Amino acid sequence: MTQENPENLLTGLNHLDDRGQAQMVDVSGKAPTIREAVAVARVKMLAETFNAIQAGNAPKGDVLGTARLAGIMAAKQTASLIPLCHPLPLHKVEVQVTPDPQLPGYQLQAIVKTKAETGVEMEALTAVSVAALTLYDMAKALEKSIQIEAIQLVSKTGGKSGNYHLEKGR
């Protein structure tokens, strides 16, 4: 795993101005590079709810397709939702919703790619978060106790800070 040194976390905080106030980082001096981020989430539910969604019997219609599209749309709106994120030209946004009968529920994954001066980690995390929330919204008539879990960044490539890959088993 490649990860930042914890001792360096408090040095060079470029999201703070000289008075300690939050600011958007100036990336204008950076060269655009290809950057990709992958994020995941898990949505757990009762077996009855899972079976109804799989059979296409949810009251609101296409649960999985709607969740996938919501994730794609959310990635494109990240800068509007997260105060210090840069608006980025996204070249790829892919959201996968995979059934997991053992959970029971769904594994969600978002892959976001750009060629820009800054990374797309927040776009990938936003995509899986909103996809999971949409899955909940589309299925809440069947079950209110659906759980959204384990939203996390799995990997990122490109940029000055280098590559990051989540350790296995975490």
- Domain of 39: which CATH number? 3.30.70.640
Residue 101 lies in a domain: yes
Q: Which long-range contacts (CB under 8 A, 24 or more apart) does 22-31 make?
A: 22/83, 22/84, 23/84, 24/84, 24/86, 25/84, 25/86, 25/118, 27/86, 27/117, 27/118, 28/117, 30/117, 30/118, 30/160, 31/117
Cα dihedral value 125, 128, 134, 140, nearest 10 = -110
Q: Residue 170: what residue type? A: R
Residue 26 lies in a domain: no
Residue 41 lies in a domain: yes
Q: Has 84 been labeled as part of a binding site?
A: yes
* Cα-to-chain-centroid distance, residue 78: 10
Residue 27 lies in a domain: no
Contacts of 87 (CB under 8 A, 6+ apart): 79
Establish whether 62 is a catalytic residue: no
Q: Print the domain residue range for 41.
A: 33-160
Residue 16 lies in a domain: no
What is the model's pLDDT at position 12?
55
Choose between 30 and 107: higher pLDDT: 107
What is the model's pLDDT at position 169?
66
Q: Has 122 been labeled as part of a binding site?
A: yes
Place of tokens 């490649």: 2
Beta strands in 14-146 (DSSP E): 33-44, 90-100, 105-116
Q: State pLDDT tens for residues 16-53.
A: 777 878 877 888 888 899 999 999 999 999 999 999 99
Are the C-beta atoms of residues 146 and 49 closer than 8 Å to each other? yes
Q: Has 85 been labeled as part of a binding site?
A: yes
